Chain A
Amino acid sequence: MNLENWTVGGRRFGVILIWLLMAGEIYTTFTFLGASGWAYSKGAPAFYILIYGALAYTISFFILPLIWKIGKKHGLHTQPDFFIQRYDSRILGVFVALIGVFSIIPYLQLQLAGLGFIVEIASNGAVSSKVAIIISFVLTCSFVYTSGIRGAAWVAVIKDILMILAVGIVGIGVPSLYFGGFGKVFKTLAERFPEHLVFPGTTPHMDVLWVMSTVLLTGLGFYMWPHAFGSAFSAKSSKTLKRNAIIMPFYQIPILLVFMVGFTALLVMPGLANGDTAFLSLVNKTYSPWIMGFVGAAGAVTAMVPSAILVLFAATLLAKNVYKGGINPKASDESVMRLSRILVLVITTVALFMAVFFPNELVNLLILGYDGVCQFFPGVVLGLFWKKVSKTGVWCGLLTGTGVVVALIVTGSDPFLGLNAGFVGLAVNAFFTVVVSLMTTPTKQLEVS
């Protein structure tokens, strides 16, 4: 296998495989546990998950085909490659790669923690979460290690079928069994927990303004994830990506079903200590053990596919853009490839360590990653559409934006005046990118055809 096959599948994926690959990245453990957990414990703020996908796909319709064309023309493999090519700076690529990897780690940690959680509950404690995490770590590593992105895309097929079956059975079954349908669930909720149906739900700070800033942050940030951005290069044409953007929103429907499970759990078994257990606890209470086993298996695979993709991209960023780009420009493609494989093992070990020792609420981990990756947005979008953008401008934007995010999070000031910290960072970032670009010489644009 060469680097081109490992990271971008030889640029040969058609609409269906791209759809499955991207859905494989999007429908994660978080879909199962985080979304139902938030619906259960917080209520309406969970709806942000339904919204941001639609925004992300709309943006992808406009930017991914252009990114693909540049990638094809210049033989790009990764997101930092794009920055290097557009802004003619290898050091910028190193910086972008590092932010990417730092953002991927909490996301990966989320997947592993969620997986441990699912297996522990589904097996009724027979398999501890630590054992489950370690077993899945070995499995995930082995299929990335052997087959790269193509392996991940094909495992995603199995995962999607299992996940949609599990969510369909439970999401339609549970509300019908207890209440006779969705309408009755909402009616009962409106009587017993009306605050769950509007913002800010049961939370003190997740009001409309928080939802608006969070959906913008996550909608804009979505394709700035190094793996989501990089997957665009796997498509066989720019048209494939346009068509894919059109059909992606259909994948949002299962999320509604997941919310219904969270809401039904709230009515049937209120007072669970941890909302993230709502989905599985309700399945456990309602169905026979074999369905619980099936849901557990679907949940585990759902964690493994995105983990595999995340690990693959994090490893490639470090090997190609940090090692080759920053340390040893003369490294051959073979040695970059070999290093990527070794780093797959290293990165999973780090995330494994963090999942075992620093468990955190699932959604918080996800938003933390978004705070980082959304800082790429001005550099990418202005790089595609604005003639005057300059390397210095993008540097200033990235540095101030990430600086603000780190400062707000470290000092515990997130949310800041009701706004998500990542969003504040993004605003500062965009401001400096534009102002400094106007004061400096524009970086020469790329040819696409």
Chain B
Amino acid sequence: MSFLEEGMQKGTKYALLLGAIPFITLVFALPLVNRIKPFVFGIPFLLFWILVWVLLTPLILFLAYLVEKRFNPPEEEDDS
């Protein structure tokens, strides 16, 4: 059976929702955050916003990893 025919698994769906977060915050929200003030921790607001979401990306992806593991049936071990 092809993986494409299985339909999207629940875990993959949740993981994709998580994966959408960086796109919303780092692309589509940009017009709203294009400003110098307020400074946060001494960093101008636009740069601060970008930094926060870039640094949260690993955490978001880690959550996506856990969600896939939790809801998708275990995959065959492909390590050899």
Complex Cα distance, B34 from A194, in Å, reads 12
> Contact size class for B?
35 or more
Q: Count A interface residues, CB 8 Å.
A: 58
What chain A residues lie within 8 Å of B50 (beta carbons)?
A: 47, 50-51
CA–CA, A194 to B45, complex, Å? 12
| A198 lies within 8 A of B61 (CB) | no
Q: Which partner residue on chain A sits nearest B42 by CB separation? A: A183
Q: A194-B36, A237-B79, A249-B54 are in contact. Are A44 and B27 (CB under 8 A)?
A: no
Q: Are B76 and A187 in contact (CB under 8 A)?
A: no
Closest chain B CB from A343 CB (angstroms)? 32
A245 cross-chain contacts in B, Cβ below 8 A: 61
Whole-angstrom distance between the Cβ of A297 and the nearest chain B Cβ:
29
Q: Is the CB of A249 within 8 A of B36?
A: no
Q: Is the CB of B54 within 8 A of A54?
A: yes
Given A62-B19, A236-B79, A247-B58, A387-B31 contact (CB < 8 Å):
no
Set of chain B residues within 8 Å of A130, measured between Cβ atoms: none
Residues of B within 8 A of A50 (CB): 50-51, 54
Shortest C-beta distance, B69 to chain A (Å), equals 10
CB contact between B5 and one of A61, A187, A387 (< 8 Å): that residue: A387
Q: Is the CB of A385 within 8 A of B57?
A: no
Partner of B46, one of A44, A215, A239, A385: A44
Chain B contact residues, CB within 8 Å of chain A:
1-5, 15-16, 19, 22-23, 26-28, 30-31, 34-36, 39, 41-44, 46-47, 50-51, 53-55, 57-58, 60-62, 64-65, 75-76, 78-80
**A-B complex: 3 closest residue pairs judged by Cβ atoms:** A183-B42, A237-B79, A249-B57
Residues of A within 8 A of B (CB): 44, 47, 50-51, 53-55, 57-59, 61-62, 66, 69, 72, 181-184, 186-187, 189-190, 194, 197-199, 208, 211-212, 215-216, 219, 236-240, 242-243, 245-250, 252-253, 256, 384-387, 445-449
